[in-house]
Amino acid sequence: MRFTNGNRNKIVLASGALLLAVMLTGCGGEKEQAQAAESVSGLRTERIQLQAVPDEIEAPGTLRSVTTAPLAARVMGTVVDVHVREGDAVKRGQVLISLDERELTARRNAARAALEEAKAGREEAARGLAMAHAQADVASKTYERFQYLKQQKSVSPQEFDEVEAKYRGAQAGLAAAKARQEQVEAANVRAESEVRAAETMAGYARIVAPFDGVVVRRSVDPGMMAAPGMPLVEVEDASRYRMEATIAASTATARGLKRGTRARVRLDALPEREFEGTVVELEAGADPASQTVRAKVDVPSAAGGALRSGLFGRVLFCCGERQALVVPRTALVERGQLRGVFVLGTDGILRLRLVTLGRVFAGAAGERVEILSGIDAGETIVLDPGTKNLDGKKLEAGR
């Protein structure tokens, strides 16, 4: 079939008229739908705007005790008794493990006996030195008198020579007594040192707690042979903990992470609690393999006995503020795995709008949730819809 220009114009005009009629019918339908929609009232609404929220870096981490002491044997010996089990609380100086100390005790007793002998020798040397001093004094005075008598030619040369010989002999005896005294003193010092060393070695047979804490690991049982350097038990301070988190080096540098930065700690084992902390250590250089840095965050001791080394969690480092859309958690509506909010349209009709959620922020007025997509700033939402189905209903103003 062939169409003339006139026919084509008539067809175009007819199609336009039909399309206009459909559009007018649709608009009228929407107006009728708005007029026919069920009305609701008494709902609190809020016009959402961008708000300042904390700009935080989230990083995984593991909880560690600030002070941990792996205790090892310092001497060779058989484990006689293990006085603690894993999880036991211990006090500073408490004996944890006992080794066979018979050989060490014998060495200590021998050192003590040698010290007693050295002390007796020192007393004898002191008496000998006192006697040598007395003899030297008498010989010196006699020698001085005979020198005078010799000048007066009142003594014979033989008598003077005998007195001089006694004087020189007394001086030599005094020098020998002094030398003996020095030798005895030196022997006494050595004996005292050996006793201290023996006492220390004997103390190595008892493994004691270096501080108040908790036994987290035990590696021996009675009857085992302990060797120097062999780990026996590990104790940690249960009053001070730190969260060790790993962060991408580029992120830490770009966001200005540094010591003193405030942080929030969340532990998977304690989901209902959150701990405030501060960055106390930050690696100066990045790990060349993973390009990450490690940060340590102090966790307050007020957390009490709920904390344990090895707990996994996350650290949120506060690096300033940013602008974000946030809504009260009570405004969220759940539809299976989906989340949405009721948005008030310009026609007064409430419609459910699916949204993508971001971070949750806690505050005095309750939790607020960041909205990443689904609504825009300036739109009005229902704050507390509860379980009501408000989709498609008209909100009456002022009621």
Residue-number span of the structural domain to which 96 is assigned = 68-100+205-236
Q: Do residues 82 and 90 touch, judged by C-beta distance below 8 A?
A: no
pLDDT band at 256 (very low <50, low <70, confident <90, very high): confident
Which pLDDT score is estimated for 352?
92
Q: Is 351 part of a structural domain of the chain?
A: yes
Which pLDDT score is estimated for 37?
67
Residues 187 and 219 occupy one common structural domain: no
Q: Is 190 part of a structural domain of the chain?
A: yes
Which pLDDT score is estimated for 304?
56
Supply the angle between the helices 102-151 and 157-203 in degrees, to the nearest 10: 160
Which pLDDT score is estimated for 332?
92
The answer to whether residue 289 scores a pLDDT higher than 70 is yes
Q: What is the pLDDT of residues 47-60, one digit of tens each?
A: 999 988 888 888 99
CATH number (domain holding residue 393) = 2.40.420.20
The answer to whether residue 19 scores a pLDDT higher than 80 is no
Give one DSSP letter per residue of 197-216, joined into a string.
Answer: HHHHHHHTTEEE-SSSEEEE
Q: Do residues 382 and 330 touch, judged by C-beta distance below 8 A?
A: no
Residue 167 tokens read as 């004087």
Residues 304 and 374 occupy one common structural domain: yes
Residues 397 and 386 occupy one common structural domain: yes
Q: Is 51 part of a structural domain of the chain?
A: yes
What's the Cα-to-Cα distance from 366 to each of 328, 331, 339, 360, 388, rounded to whole Å? Answer: 7, 12, 19, 10, 21
Residues whose CB is less than 8 angstroms from the CB of residue 233 and which lie 6 or more positions away in sequence, other chains included? 70, 71, 82, 84, 96, 97, 207, 215, 217, 218, 219, 220
Lowest-confidence region among 162-171, 198-207, 340-349: 198-207
Q: Is 18 part of a structural domain of the chain?
A: no
How many domains does the chain fold into? 3
Choose among 81, 84, 77: nearest CA to 100: 77
**3-class SS of residue 303:** helix
Residues 349 and 367 occupy one common structural domain: yes
- Angle at 56 (CA atoms; ends 54, 58), nearest 5 degrees: 145
Q: Is 10 part of a structural domain of the chain?
A: no
Residues 210 and 90 occupy one common structural domain: yes
Residues 80 and 59 occupy one common structural domain: no
Residue 140: phi, psi to the nearest 5? -65, -45
Q: What is the pLDDT of residues 137-196, one digit of tens each?
A: 888 888 888 888 888 888 888 888 888 898 888 888 888 888 888 888 888 888 888 888
Q: Do residues 60 and 387 touch, judged by C-beta distance below 8 A?
A: no
Q: Is 12 part of a structural domain of the chain?
A: no
Would you tell me how many other CB atoms lie within 10 Å of the CB of residue 374?
16
Q: Is 22 part of a structural domain of the chain?
A: no
Q: Is 242 part of a structural domain of the chain?
A: no
Residues 72 and 209 occupy one common structural domain: yes
Residues 59 and 123 occupy one common structural domain: no
The answer to whether residue 29 scores a pLDDT higher than 80 is no
Residues 211 and 188 occupy one common structural domain: no
CATH number (domain holding residue 221) = 2.40.50.100
Residues 228 and 263 occupy one common structural domain: no
Choose among 143, 195, 197, 146: nearest CA to 166: 143
Q: What is the pLDDT of residues 77-108, one digit of tens each?
A: 889 999 999 989 999 999 999 988 887 778 88
Residues 130 and 216 occupy one common structural domain: no
- Report how far residue 103's alpha carbon sits from residue 326's, in angstroms, rounded to the nearest whole number: 73
Residues 352 and 221 occupy one common structural domain: no
Q: What is the pLDDT of residues 357-394, one digit of tens each?
A: 988 887 767 788 999 999 999 999 998 888 888 888 88
Residues whose CB is less than 8 angstroms from the CB of residue 384 and which lie 6 or more positions away in sequence, other chains included? 43, 44, 328, 330, 331
Starting at the edge strand found earlier in the chain, the sheet holding 231-236 runs 68-72, 231-236, 213-218, 89-90
pLDDT band at 17 (very low <50, low <70, confident <90, very high): very low
